[in-house]
Amino acid sequence: MRVFIISLLLISNLAFAADKEKAYALFKKYGCEGCHADYGIVAGPSFYMVKSKYLKEFNNDIEATKQYLRETIRKGSSGKWFKFLDMKMPSHPQIQPEELEIIVDWIVSVPPPEEKKK
Q: How far apart are CA 52 and CA 50, in angstroms?
A: 6
Is the residue at 18 inside a domain? yes
* pLDDT number for residue 20: 87
The model's pLDDT over 72-95, given as tens digits with 9 standing for 90+, comes to 999 999 888 877 666 789 999 999
C-alpha distances out from residue 53 to 25, 47, 117, Å: 24, 10, 22
The CATH number of whichever domain residue 38 belongs to comes to: 1.10.760.10
Is the residue at 11 inside a domain? yes
Segments of the chain scoring below 70 in pLDDT: 1-18, 84-86, 115-118
The model's pLDDT over 61-74, given as tens digits with 9 standing for 90+, comes to 999 999 999 999 99
The total of structural domains in the chain comes to: 1
Domain holding 27, by residue range, is 2-113
Give buried/exposed letters for 22-33 (b at 16+ CB in 10 A, else e): bbeebbeebebe
Is the residue at 14 inside a domain? yes
The packing angle between helices 97-109 and 47-57, to 10°, is: 90
HSE (side-chain half, CA atoms, 13 Å) at 25:
8
Is the residue at 118 inside a domain? no
Is the residue at 85 inside a domain? yes
Q: What pTM value is reported for the model?
A: 0.78
